[in-house]
Amino acid sequence: MKKKMQKKRNKIFEVFKRNKKISEVGIFLALFWGLGFAFLYIPNIEFITLITFLSGLLFGLRRGLIVAIVGEIVFSTLNPFGSSLAFPPLLLAQVIGFAFIAIIGFVFRSFIQFFTDNKITFSIVFGATGLLLTIVYDSLTTLAFPISSGFDLKQIIAIYIAGIPFNLIHIVANTLIFFIILPKILEYVIEHLPECFPSIKNYTLTTEIN
């Protein structure tokens, strides 16, 4: 009788865990699309890079990639300023870029505990991460057109350089978002949802420089 009850409890718990995981992905996809479309009319200011990075960091590789790939395909194809379906190489570059962001978020799960004892280091590391991820993404999307259109090397370089001033706003904005907002979110998660980072035990962020 006890074994049957235990099996039933375990089964209920497994269903709960599975439903919780599905719900978390759904919530992050809703955040992805909600924030994406909300900031669409402000050039180069967006929070979907942050959401994608967090999905890989908090949920792991598989669910992080689901948020990144599904989120970007829907957002990009339904963009009122022009669907990426009109130019598949651009859509592919965007999806690859966001998948890469989710993967890097997942990679951070392994060593986030090394930064959590120092608030300054925490912010600097994530600010630098936001900068590098945005450079990679903007490079992929900027180069998608000239490379797929068969431009020669000089033309490709010229197009890339011409896009730098426009991309610079995006790079600076995401660097600040990762430097200021991301550490605040993670402070809350570490304190209130420690199960997201089982490798972190009894860590508190301080402003002390070690």
Report the largest interatomic distance among the alpha carbons of the chain, rounded to a whole angstrom.
76
Residue 207 belongs to some domain of the structure:
no
Q: Are 91 and 85 in contact (CB under 8 A)?
A: yes
- Residue 58 is part of a domain; what is its CATH number? 1.10.1760.20
The pLDDT of residue 8 = 66
Residue 206 belongs to some domain of the structure:
no
Residue 210 belongs to some domain of the structure:
no
The pLDDT of residue 177 = 97
Residue 75 belongs to some domain of the structure:
yes
Q: Which stretches of the chain are DSSP H helices?
A: 2-38, 48-59, 61-77, 88-108, 119-148, 153-176, 182-192
Q: Binning pLDDT at 50, 70 and 90, where does residue 197 land?
A: confident
93, with CB counted inside 10 A (0-12, 13-18, 19+), is buried
Distance of CA 6 to the CA centre of its chain: 39
Residue 23 belongs to some domain of the structure:
yes
Please report, rounded to a whole number, the percentage of residues in the chain having pLDDT higher than 90.
67
Host domain of residue 64: 2-196
Distance of CA 12 to the CA centre of its chain: 31
The pLDDT of residue 210 = 32
CA gap 123, 181 in Å, rounded: 9
Residue 209 belongs to some domain of the structure:
no
What does the block give as tokens for 195?
């199960």
- Higher per-residue pLDDT: 99 or 112: 99
CA gap 37, 176 in Å, rounded: 20
The per-residue pLDDT for range 114-157, each reduced to its tens digit, is 766 778 888 999 999 999 999 999 999 999 999 999 999 999 99
Q: Binning pLDDT at 50, 70 and 90, where does residue 57 land?
A: very high
Q: Are 61 and 103 in contact (CB under 8 A)?
A: yes
Number of separate domains in the chain: 1
